[in-house]
């Protein structure tokens, strides 16, 4: 599947910052774990935008915000020459003038965790097991679908109208915490 949608250079900025983070690690710098966490989040958002033609443009702003935070964590760790080199690479990435390829995330994660219009699906990892009857009752009670993930073990997928999913998730968190504290 060829991607025809443009991420307006945000994808290329991700490539530059990811490269910089690993360069700093190789140089023995202590790169905060937050950098890698934010890079993972931005990569998922960018992949979602590129792969889902219905993804709104403003989702890229969220990826850009994550990358801005990564920049603020990485550049203070750089020597002056490295900072200059990577600032220039970022400038070229922003103008979409840098020839690098974004490692598009085509994993099955996007199948179950999605948002289409007002319908949302999310996945929650469980530390225990719930009986199918309980999931069925939760589905009826909240007006959403609770089911075991077909992709990952010990995960529940909640799908339905966005407001209902949020309400169900909020209340379901009580069950989730109980299972986490009292594994079966």
Other Cβ atoms within 10 Å of 181 Cβ, number: 9
Query: Is the pLDDT confidence value at 112 over 50?
Result: no
Query: Is the pLDDT confidence value at 15 over 80?
Result: yes
Min mean pLDDT across 16-25, 26-35, 59-68, 156-165 is at 156-165
pLDDT band (50, 70, 90) for residue 39: very high
H-helix or E-strand spanning residue 44? helix 33-51
**pLDDT mean over 22-41:** 92
Whole-number mean pLDDT of the chain?
A: 83
Q: What is the DSSP string of 56-90?
A: -TTHHHHHHHHHHHHHHHHGGGS-HHHHHHHHHHH
What whole-number distance in Å separates Cα of residue 95 and Cα of residue 126? 43
CA dihedral sign of residues 72, 77, 79, 81: negative
Tokens 């379901």 sit on residue: 172
What fold characterizes domain 109-181? Ribosomal Protein S8; Chain: A, domain 1 (3.30.1370)
Query: Is the pLDDT confidence value at 30 over 80?
Result: yes
Other Cβ atoms within 10 Å of 151 Cβ, number: 14
Q: What is the DSSP string of 18-42?
A: HHHHHHHHHTT----HHHHHHHHHH
Q: What is the pLDDT of residues 81-104, one digit of tens each?
A: 999 999 999 999 998 888 888 887
Query: Is the pLDDT confidence value at 152 over 80?
Result: no
pLDDT band (50, 70, 90) for residue 68: very high
Instruction: Kindly list the domain boundaries of the chain, sorted by start residue.
Output: 10-94, 109-181
Structure confidence at residue 77 (pLDDT): 97
């Amino acid at each position: 599947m060829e991607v025809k949608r443009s991420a307006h250079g945000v994808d290329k900025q991700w490539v530059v910052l990811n490269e910089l983070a690993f360069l700093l690690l190789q140089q023995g710098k202590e790169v905060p774990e937050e950098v890698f966490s934010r890079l993972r989040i931005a990569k998922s958002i960018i992949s979602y935008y590129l792969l889902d033609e219905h993804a709104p443009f403003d989702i890229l702003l969220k990826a850009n915000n994550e990358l801005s935070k990564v920049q603020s964590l990485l550049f203070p760790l750089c020597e002056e020459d490295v900072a200059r080199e990577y600032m220039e690479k970022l400038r070229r990435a922003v103008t979409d003038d840098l020839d690098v390829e974004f490692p598009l995330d085509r994993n099955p994660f996007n199948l179950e965790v999605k948002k289409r219009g007002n319908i949302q699906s999310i996945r929650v990892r469980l530390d225990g097991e719930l009986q199918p009857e309980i999931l069925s009752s939760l589905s009826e009670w909240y007006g959403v679908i609770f089911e075991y993930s077909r992709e990952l073990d010990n995960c529940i997928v909640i799908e339905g109208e966005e407001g209902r999913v949020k309400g169900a998730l909020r209340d379901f968190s009580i069950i989730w915490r109980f299972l986490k504290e009292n594994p079966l």
